[in-house]
Amino acid sequence: KQEVTQIPAALSVPEGENLVLNCSFTDSAIYNLQWFRQDPGKGLTSLLLIQSSQREQTSGRLNASLDKSSGRSTLYIAASQPGDSATYLCAVGFYTNAGKSTFGDGTTLTVKP
Amino acid sequence: DAGVIQSPRHEVTEMGQEVTLRCKPISGHDYLFWYRQTMMRGLELLIYFNNNVPIDDSGMPEDRFSAKMPNASFSTLKIQPSEPRDSAVYFCASSSWDRVGQPQHFGDGTRLSIL
């Protein structure tokens, strides 16, 4: 069974700190991995998508990496701000279920001023 | 680009009533997904369509749930009869496929409360 795991479930850091969120998956046969952000009471906003042929993607203070062989992705947030507080979810597209994505349960990040 | 549009944004109804949720995907996207999100169960995929055809409905919880996609620009998720345990936020998302997959785009969701 293809599973996506995000640890920790919650993370609290002081403003300005650099941090890493983790996503692991059980099947290396993936075609992409997507990171989302969800604010309370809101929908999911796509942050970054890494295709299977790529190792990383960057957008502003965010950097997502992908290591298929170890079944891991990380989302690095530089110089965190209170406005970064949200739940971050990763979603993996597995070739055996091409077209849909399997979501992790998310990591809820709190950045304290 | 208007994004994925869902309606209504909020729905409160009594147990036993029929509920219909609506979704307009992004033009040109050939995949459409219906998700349900609760605190207890997180984000669950209910059903998804490719080119208006249902591909996988294994996530649909019961026969009370049904989904249709009569054309490329419209889909509905219907619950009949509704029950309090159906209370959740229902999201619609769409994407396109080109061998490597493109990002899923989510609507703002419908917050459903069954009394």
Backbone phi, then psi, for A53, in 5-degree steps? -85, -5
**Each residue of A69-85: pLDDT tens digit?**
999 999 999 999 999 99
Structure tokens at B57: 């409905």
Question: Which of A37, A66, A100, A102 has the most B C-beta neighbours within 10 Å, making it the best mutation to test the interface with B?
Answer: A100
Cα–Cα distances in Å, from A2 out to A60, A102, A108, B53, B83? 31, 8, 23, 24, 31
Q: Which of B110, B112, B65 is nearest to B84 (CA)?
A: B112
CB contact under 8 A, A46 and B103: yes
> B21-79, pLDDT tens digit by residue?
999 999 999 999 999 999 888 899 999 999 999 999 999 988 999 999 999 999 999 99
B101/B84: higher pLDDT: B84
DSSP string covering B1-45, please? ----EEE-SEEEE-TT--EEEEEEPPTT--EEEEEEEETTTEEEE
Q: Is the pLDDT of residue B113 over 90?
A: yes
Q: List the single residue in B42, B48, B55 with the smallest CB-CB distance to A105.
A: B42
Residue A46 parent element (H or E): strand A44-51
B102-114 average pLDDT score: 93
Residues within 8 A of B (CB atoms), A 31-60 only: 31-32, 34, 36, 42-46, 49, 51-53
| Mean pLDDT, residues B2-8 taken together | 94
The answer to whether the Cβ–Cβ distance between A103 and B42 falls below 8 Å is: yes
Q: Is pLDDT above 70 for B1?
A: no
User: In B, which residues are within 8 Å of A100 by CB distance?
Assistant: 31, 33, 45, 48, 55-56
Lowest model confidence (mean pLDDT) among A30-34, A98-102, B61-65, B69-73: A98-102
CA A110/CA B17 separation, integer angstroms: 39
Mutate to test the interface with B, among A35, A95, A101, A105 (most CBs of B within 10 A): A101
A31/B101 touch (CB, cutoff 8 Å), yes or no: yes
Q: How far is B93 from chain A (nearest CA, A)?
A: 9
Instruction: Tell whether A29 lies on the interface with B, counting CB pairs under 8 A.
Output: no
The three-class DSSP label of residue A14 is strand
Q: Please say whether the beta carbons of A100 and A93 come within 8 A.
A: yes
Tell me the nearest-neighbour CA distance from A19 into chain B, angstroms.
24
